[in-house]
Amino acid sequence: MKWSFRTHLPVLALACAIPNISTAAPDEDERPPLTDPFRQLEETLPTPTSTRAASGAPGHRYWQQRADYNIKVRIDDAKQHLEGSQRIRYFNESPDTLDYVWLQLDANIYAPDSDSVRARSTPGFSRMPYRSLRRIFARATFDGSVKLTRVQSGGKDLNYVVVGTMMRIDLPKPLASGKRVDLDIDWHYAINDSDRVSGRTGFEFFEDDKNYIYEIAQWFPRMVAYTDVNGWQHKQFLGNGEFTLELGDYKVEITVPADHIVASTGVLKNGNKVLTSDQRARLSKAAKADAPEFIVTPEEAKQNEAEGTEEEKTWVFHAKNVRDFAFATSRKFIWDAVSHDVNGRDVWAMSYYPNEGEPLWSRYSTRSIEHTLDIYSRYTFDYPYPVAISVNGPVGGMEYPMICFNGPRPEEDGTYTARTKYGLISVIIHEVGHNYFPMIVNSDERQWTWMDEGLNTFLQYLTEQEWEPDYPSRRGEPRNIVGYMASENQVPIMTNSESLLQFGNNAYAKPATALNVLRETVLGRELFDFAFKKYARRWKFRRPQPADFFRTMEDASGIDLDWFWRGWFYSTDHVDIALTGIREFSVDTLDPEIEKARDREERDSVPESLSERRNEDLAQLTDALPELKDFYNDYDKLDVTEKDKKWYQRALKRLSDEEKELLKTTKKFYVIDLENVGGLVMPVILELHYGDGSKEEIRIPAEIWRRDWHETSKAVMTDKDLVRVVVDPHLETADTDLSNNFYPPKVEKSRFELFKYRRDRGNPMRDAGLGDGSVKERSPQEKVDERERPGK
């Protein structure tokens, strides 16, 4: 450590040193050149093509396939069975000729011997809770895989092969570029009981009233994406990575018990047939209302539950330019709706939920949808679809175009914890937000989960922060991720979804935090928001790759961000910038009267050593024999001599007027030494505290690490005394170790010590009776000890 020492610089050297902020000299031979964090990403990113430009925009020959669907589907409520008949019209917009096509059969994940089951490593536990045991039996016996009864084109049977969750259909003749083919497929399968075999689709059974809620998703044979980057996207559905699909138009007829209410992707085309006149009148009212209106009231839903019917009705929905289609249906549904103005476009914000969701759902669901549309549209593009729906049922949180499924419910007595409330609002914001990423900006979720989950979690954070002051967001704030960032055994964000360790942190929290840091600390809001919006608009209804995002953000902000992508997305380095020293410099005035006085002051300030102090009383030989003294015994080299004065006058004559002015400065110069301990280069934010009580913040771009990414220094010129320095004072960089961020050094308390400190000082929550009682009472292990002692 080299805390605060003083040195004199020759005036001219100092004048050169000021503009040069990075002064530390790298130890060249010790630096492995391959770890240069500023090395450009060109060698890592794919070469630009005619489909993907070097700017990050779609290329001049950009293409994507298209698939339109015409589907008739029926739910057998007695058997919880789904049966469908569909025509896919597939347009080959690629320059290639296709001999066969691939389809996804996601329901095959519910085959007892599916890859998703087999690909899991076998856990090593020998004891298992009953619930897990029940699930294992259910999983081993339930078959929810797709039964195909017709695969035809133009009335002719086609050869097909099912490979796990995918199916290859051999075309009757090769499909040339620019041509289309119709595929007719009939199928049926058993719907999974979400309580036993859970997933992103399924039914929930309510024992009290013997009714079901169905949430039906990833349910029909869907075209696998065929892209300029990957060709057919040959990836089995294993459970983590979601999906990537082709955009197209849908016409879907859904046949359900006549007393069901259906919530679906798309616009209802036969409201006259399936809705009562009351319901239609309420919809008209909701179209002009400021607040959500009940279309089906809680009382009506209760009544509906009690009755039941043998009759059926068919609901018809049309959806344009969507990449998927999902729906939910039940006789238990309450339905509320309001028409929301998104920059001049009317969008139906609607929620469907059973009485079990009340009073939470009518209070927060539709309002959360509206808020999401407002904020996301501001940061990306105006919501382009006519409806946005949130449904409560068995699925905890999952998104589809225009519709999403969300799980939280209150307690049976209608009360709910704050955690449930904010959990519901957050999950709705998140799932509705997925309309933007990846439903509309159609990234490949199965390969690059962060492109939708990370971007969406970032926008979710911005949206939550505009819900109410201090909204308890779980992700986005850099300080919330430091524990993960500091840990070893990570993999970079740029890792395939199915092989991600710590999926949640890598696909959601870390990229969301990275974007927040990029926005607040690196680019600033104005540049970031412009670039991010540019990316969203360039790739709206198109299929971006990671490089398109990285390149667009640079292209539109005008800032080289390769170091940022490299550090945050391609490495597992973390941020830990340490303050290792402060050096103080002053200008050499050349004037011997000033300089020698200053040196004397410095000499006198050196404390007496212990030996010197103890030796003070010792008798000295020169006291007894004064003749031993000569000139040098009285000489002080810090006395100003005539020679010094002459030298000074000569020196002054050689200086220009400008240089003479500089000599008169009273400014102080400090050099702050920094070390990059974590490896991830980041901007350095310094808070400087001065002797007069004032403070100043300086923000240094990450390029300060360009010459030496291990150590660097920052020079500061000031009129005041620098007394305290803090690195990253607002905790904005995810710096994982704060103990080395202070001058003078400050001992950071551990979380444990902080807790004990708070506990010992008393805490207002506990005083208000809000604690868990674990502190004042007899300690819990004493209670436990009475019955069983741990470890025996």
Q: Residues 350-369: x/- map of binding to another protein (CB under 8 A)?
A: ------x-------------
Q: Which stretch binds Zn ion (CB under 5 A): 43-51, 452-460, 693-701, 747-755?
A: 452-460
87 vs 479, beta carbon nearer another protein:
479
138 vs 655, beta carbon nearer another protein:
138
Given Zn ion, another protein, none, residue 427, with its beta carbon under 5 to 8 Å by kind, binds another protein
- The least CB distance from residue 507 to Zn ion, in Å, is 9
228 vs 242, beta carbon nearer another protein:
242
Kind and range of the H or E element at 762?
A: none
450 vs 709, beta carbon nearer Zn ion:
450
453 touches another protein (CB under 8 A): yes
Q: Residue for token digits 């500089």? A: 662
- Measure CA 426 to chain center: 14
Among the listed residues 88, 103, 398, 523, the single contact to another protein using CB under 8 A: 398
> What pairs with residue 203 in β-bridges?
193, 214
Q: What gap in Å lies between CA 608 and CA 614, rounded to an integer?
A: 10
460 vs 741, beta carbon nearer Zn ion:
460
Q: Do 375 and 388 touch, CB atoms closer than 8 A?
A: no
408 touches another protein (CB under 8 A): yes
| Residue count, binding to Zn ion (CB under 5 A) | 1
773 touches another protein (CB under 8 A): yes
Q: For residues 367-396, which are near another protein according to CB under 8 A?
A: 392, 394-396
764 touches another protein (CB under 8 A): no
How many residues does the structure list for the chain? 792
Q: For residues 502-561, which are near another protein according to CB under 8 A?
A: 502-505, 507-509
- Classify residue 650 by its DSSP letter: H
Among the listed residues 83, 186, 209, 748, the single contact to another protein using CB under 8 A: 209
Reduced to 3 states, what is the DSSP secondary structure of residue 503?
Answer: helix
CA nearest 256: which of 405, 78, 71, 395?
78
Residue burial 481-507, b: 16+ Cβ < 10 Å; e: rest: bbebbbeeebebbbbebbebeebebbb
Given another protein, Zn ion, none, residue 480, with its beta carbon under 5 to 8 Å by kind, binds another protein
208 vs 616, beta carbon nearer another protein:
208
| Token duo for residue 73 | 């589907």
Q: What gap in Å lies between CA 377 and CA 533, rounded to an integer?
A: 10
Q: Residues 461-480: x/- map of binding to another protein (CB under 8 A)?
A: -----------x-xx----x
φ/ψ (deg, to 5) at 445: -70, -30
77 vs 453, beta carbon nearer Zn ion:
453
What is the DSSP annotation of 146-187? -EEEEEEETTEE--EEEETTEEEEEEEEEE-TT-EEEEEEEE
Q: Do 241 and 498 touch, CB atoms closer than 8 A?
A: yes
- The least CB distance from residue 585 to another protein, in Å, is 32
| Residue count, binding to another protein (CB under 8 A) | 101
324 touches another protein (CB under 8 A): no
Q: What gap in Å lies between CA 468 and CA 461, rounded to an integer?
A: 12
Report the interhelical angle of 642-654 vs 592-604 (nearest 10°).
Answer: 120
209 vs 584, beta carbon nearer another protein:
209
487 touches another protein (CB under 8 A): yes
Among the listed residues 489, 649, 656, 666, the single contact to another protein using CB under 8 A: 489
Q: Do 274 and 258 touch, CB atoms closer than 8 A?
A: no
Q: What gap in Å lies between CA 710 and CA 704, rounded to an integer?
A: 11
Given Zn ion, another protein, none, residue 631, with its beta carbon under 5 to 8 Å by kind, binds none
258 touches another protein (CB under 8 A): no
Among the listed residues 30, 47, 130, 654, the single contact to another protein using CB under 8 A: 130
Q: Which stretch binds another protein (CB under 8 A): 168-176, 270-278, 695-703, 770-778?
A: 770-778
Given Zn ion, another protein, none, residue 125, with its beta carbon under 5 to 8 Å by kind, binds another protein
Alpha helices in 465-561 (DSSP H): 482-486, 503-504, 510-517, 525-538, 546-557
The two beta strands, 722-727 and 334-342, are unpaired
Q: For residues 643-702, which are near another protein according to CB under 8 A?
A: none
Given Zn ion, another protein, none, residue 155, with its beta carbon under 5 to 8 Å by kind, binds none
Reduced to 3 states, what is the DSSP secondary structure of residue 236?
Answer: coil
45 vs 117, beta carbon nearer another protein:
117
616 touches another protein (CB under 8 A): no
Q: Residue for token digits 């220009």? A: 656
Kind and range of the H or E element at 663?
A: helix 657-663
Given Zn ion, another protein, none, residue 321, with its beta carbon under 5 to 8 Å by kind, binds none
Among the listed residues 397, 401, 678, 683, the single contact to another protein using CB under 8 A: 397
Q: Residue for token digits 């973390």? A: 574
Given another protein, Zn ion, none, residue 288, with its beta carbon under 5 to 8 Å by kind, binds none
176 vs 775, beta carbon nearer another protein:
775
418 touches another protein (CB under 8 A): yes
Q: Do 311 and 338 touch, CB atoms closer than 8 A?
A: no
> What pairs with residue 391 in β-bridges?
352, 405
Given another protein, Zn ion, none, residue 131, with its beta carbon under 5 to 8 Å by kind, binds another protein
29 touches another protein (CB under 8 A): no
Q: For residues 734-753, which are near another protein according to CB under 8 A?
A: 750-753
CA nearest 572: which of 508, 645, 489?
489
- The least CB distance from residue 509 to Zn ion, in Å, is 12
Given Zn ion, another protein, none, residue 209, with its beta carbon under 5 to 8 Å by kind, binds another protein
Q: Which stretch binds another protein (CB under 8 A): 165-173, 197-205, 517-525, 580-588?
A: 197-205
Q: Residues 271-300: x/- map of binding to Zn ion (CB under 5 A)?
A: ------------------------------
Q: Which stretch binds another protein (CB under 8 A): 30-38, 125-133, 699-707, 724-732?
A: 125-133
- The least CB distance from residue 397 to Zn ion, in Å, is 7
453 vs 588, beta carbon nearer Zn ion:
453
Asked, as a colleague might, if the bond just before 129 is cis with ω within 30 of 0, I would say no
CA nearest 38: which of 506, 672, 704?
704
3 touches another protein (CB under 8 A): no
443 touches another protein (CB under 8 A): no
Among the listed residues 28, 29, 208, 767, the single contact to another protein using CB under 8 A: 208
Given another protein, Zn ion, none, residue 116, with its beta carbon under 5 to 8 Å by kind, binds another protein
CA nearest 420: which of 372, 359, 476?
359
- The least CB distance from residue 45 to another protein, in Å, is 27
CA nearest 92: which of 243, 223, 220?
223
Q: For residues 281-320, which are near another protein according to CB under 8 A?
A: none
> What pairs with residue 676 in β-bridges?
577
- Measure CA 182 to chain center: 40
| Token duo for residue 206 | 């309510």
Among the listed residues 26, 172, 239, 679, the single contact to another protein using CB under 8 A: 239
453 vs 673, beta carbon nearer Zn ion:
453
- Measure CA 329 to chain center: 32
Q: Do 582 and 744 touch, CB atoms closer than 8 A?
A: no
CA nearest 503: which of 177, 750, 240?
240
791 touches another protein (CB under 8 A): yes
Reduced to 3 states, what is the DSSP secondary structure of residue 85?
Answer: strand
Q: Do 386 and 400 touch, CB atoms closer than 8 A?
A: no
Residues that bind Zn ion (CB under 5 A): 453
